[in-house]
Amino acid sequence: MTITINSSRYGLIEVAEDKVIEFAAGLPGFEGLTRFALLHPDDDEPKYFILHSTEDADVAFTITDPATFGFSYEIVLDDNINALLQQPDTPEAVVDNAVLVILAKEDGNGPLRANLKGPLILNLKTRRGVQHTFTRLDYTI
């Protein structure tokens, strides 16, 4: 089964159902949108992905691995996050998770920045995701 998105940025997109990630709680600021297609350029090893809403043709985010910026996370998943990801609280289940960050340009023209305080956790096996928001993030660049 495929889903068609008439994207205001990328035109008509056909997406296989198995490329859709569900964010049961939505994303901060977009709580009403829960289903996003995970797209990438036709590259063997893409450096970025597009997380495009299947429910609103105007909402899409560019995301990437935080390692692109020399950053990595150690995130402890609590019972609530495990439930949202529909995964058991076991070390084996964590292997199915990918941590990505949303990219943005300030004012649409500035330098490219990563939202390090709000990484996305995607369980690639269950096709579920959550945005983890740090209230305090101690790091040095």
Which domains are present in the chain? 2-131 (2.30.290.10)
* pLDDT of 87 strictly over 50: yes
CA dihedral of residues 18, 50, 136, 94 (deg, nearest 10)? 30
Nearest CA to 10 out of 51, 46, 48 is that of: 51
Q: What is the pLDDT of residues 26-65, one digit of tens each?
A: 999 999 999 999 998 776 778 889 999 999 999 999 999 9
Separation CA 99–CA 44 (nearest Å): 19
Q: What is the mean pLDDT of the chain?
A: 87
Separation CA 141–CA 133 (nearest Å): 19
Residue 67's region, left for phi above 0, alpha for psi from -120 to 50, else beta, is alpha
Res 139: pLDDT: 55
Give this prediction's pTM: 0.87
Res 62: pLDDT: 93
